[in-house]
Structure 1
Amino acid sequence: MSTVDQADRFLTEPSIQEMMELAQLTKYAVVGIGGVSSEATFVQRENLTMNELAYIRKENGVGDILGQFYNQSGERLDLSLHRRLIGISIENLKTMYTIGVAGGAEKLEAIHGALRGQYLAVLVTDEETAQSLLSMGR
């Protein structure tokens, strides 16, 4: 949504509340892992301003899942963007069987942060990325 106020109003709709309640009951999720760059989908689609991108970098943000950004330790950042999103929190992924899909050197830190944050039960990636992650350790 464009503003937090719009998101809050949207979430008061009974049909949306019902869908959000159903989403909380989900046991499985398949998610992509995004990196933090000016070429990232979130920036290209103008969901994220350059000021927000600068703030994410300042806070050591490394990636996003479901449009929610986190740092290298996997801790979710405090962004107004997160309050404009309609969907489940990445914290909910910890209670689900979540499959993450990502690969490539440009997403290495994002994947590592997602694993450290314990958002994923399974990671689907390429061999080179897997080897790099193993060499990074915990």
Structure 2
Amino acid sequence: MADKSPDRSMVDTRSRQGLRLEQAARAAWLYYVGRHTQDEVASQLNISRQAAQRLISLALSERLIKFRFDHEVGPCMEAGDALSRRFGLSVCEVVPTMGSHAATLGSIAIAGAQFIEKWLSQRTPVVLGLGTGRALRAIANELSPVAAPQHKVFSLCGSILPMGRAIALDPVLRVAELSGAQCFSLPCPVIAATVEEREVLQKQQPYATMRALLPQARCLLVGVGSIDWKCALHNDGCVSDLELASLIEDGAAGEICGWSFNAAGKLLGGPVNERVVGIWEHALSTQALRIGAAFGAKKVTAIRAAMVGQMIDGLITDEATAQALLAEG
């Protein structure tokens, strides 16, 4: 616990004092370097034109604008633009890499929370789907309380681990708690014990509710997991040693909501995916924006595969991961 305190303090300080400057830097970068109009800046940042003008003025008054872009977010935005062009992303948010994994996760959490808050701030009812994982839990914890009972949030995967253990801090529950949004969770295992059990679970009302909500969703936010001997699916007991070895042998590059996929971003066949209970496979044919939140060297292969196969069309990551993705060509 002692090692985490300085990192959290660093993130908290940046959260409280630097977020407006960071947004001003983004507005200025889009306007001066990206050569966007103020209307386009406002649209990309999901703010009014007047707010965009004020942010650009703030960037000037704070001397963020010089002969070159003198702010840490500049290289991040350049990396985000490069990833968007290369992989055809609709959204790409790249945050600075911090001094430790925990601190970088905090930065990812802030960016992800801001993204969700933009949706929750809309007056028109919005439906959002969420996955699970450390990044999603951190994002949910970072949300600012807001009254948004007109919205709906729902789970894309089961919320129970083997032996009946609940997933710690199901992101959907936390988002609903902080926003007052209507909450729809999927009280079943991420991966069923048998195909027959999966079929029974998918006949229950909660699963039918998630399937009904999915076509209404505007945005789906998920974690992207690796497939290796330290991956979350294995550590949480969702797959056995033999099943993990089989996934690796079959060329699994990563997983989203329990669904394993190969380096081309295609879902694998086989006994593991045949038992996944969640609805992510159906999400791939919807019009919803699919955003992955993930970072770290061990996640590069999985993130790249998810983008190549268009399993996700948006990404929230850190600069080091972004540069690694770009370096792979």
User: TM-score if structure 1 supplies the norm length?
Assistant: 0.89
Q: Report the number of matched residues.
A: 137
The share of aligned pairs that are identical, in percent, is 31
Aligned to 1:117: 309
Contact 2:210 / 2:279 at 8 angstroms: preserved in 1?
A: no
Contact 1:35 / 1:64 at 8 angstroms: preserved in 2?
A: yes
- SS of 1:37's partner is coil
Q: Following the alignment from structure 2 to structure 1, what is the Cα–Cα distance between the partners of residues 239 and 257? A: 13
Of 215, 220, 230, the match for 1:29:
220
Contact 1:94 / 1:120 at 8 angstroms: preserved in 2?
A: no
Residue 10 of structure 1, CA deviation: 1.8
Contact 2:252 / 2:261 at 8 angstroms: preserved in 1?
A: yes
Structure 1 residue 99 corresponds to structure 2 residue 291: yes
Aligned to 2:237: 46
Which has the higher mean CA deviation after the structures are superposed, 89-98 or 25-34?
89-98
| Letter aligned with residue 328 of structure 2 | M
Residue 3 of structure 1, CA deviation: 1.2
Tell me the alpha carbon deviations over residues 34-91 of structure 1, each in whole angstroms, 9 at most, x when there is no partner.
0011211110111111111111111211100111111111111113222322221335
Q: Following the alignment from structure 1 to structure 2, what is the Cα–Cα distance between the partners of residues 4 and 28? A: 29
- Taking a change above 3 Å as real, the CA distance of residues 17 and 90 of structure 1, as seen in their structure-2 partners, is closer
Tell me the alpha carbon deviations over residues 90-110 of structure 1, each in whole angstroms, 9 at most, x when there is no partner.
352353201101111111101
| Letter aligned with residue 56 of structure 1 | L
- Taking a change above 3 Å as real, the CA distance of residues 114 and 16 of structure 1, as seen in their structure-2 partners, is closer
Which has the higher mean CA deviation after the structures are superposed, 86-95 or 65-74?
86-95
Give 1 or 2: higher helix fraction: 2
Residue 135 of structure 1, CA deviation: 1.7
Tell me, which stretches of 5 or more residues in structure 1 are unaligned? none
Tell me, which stretches of 5 or more residues in structure 2 are unaligned? 1-191
Of 269, 272, 280, the match for 1:89:
280
State the 4+ residue runs in structure 1 displaced beyond 6 angstroms: none
Structure 1 residue 131 corresponds to structure 2 residue 328: no
Aligned to 2:69: none
Of 251, 257, 279, the match for 1:60:
251
Contact 2:214 / 2:283 at 8 angstroms: preserved in 1?
A: no
- SS of 2:284's partner is helix
Of 189, 194, 201, the match for 1:3:
194
- Taking a change above 3 Å as real, the CA distance of residues 106 and 14 of structure 1, as seen in their structure-2 partners, is closer
User: TM-score if structure 2 supplies the norm length?
Assistant: 0.39
CA RMSD of aligned residues (A): 1.7
Contact 1:94 / 1:119 at 8 angstroms: preserved in 2?
A: no
| Letter aligned with residue 301 of structure 2 | E
Contact 1:30 / 1:100 at 8 angstroms: preserved in 2?
A: yes
Residue 15 of structure 1, CA deviation: 4.7
Contact 1:20 / 1:87 at 8 angstroms: preserved in 2?
A: no
- Taking a change above 3 Å as real, the CA distance of residues 121 and 15 of structure 1, as seen in their structure-2 partners, is closer
Give 1 or 2: higher strand fraction: 1
- Taking a change above 3 Å as real, the CA distance of residues 10 and 90 of structure 1, as seen in their structure-2 partners, is closer
| Letter aligned with residue 292 of structure 2 | G
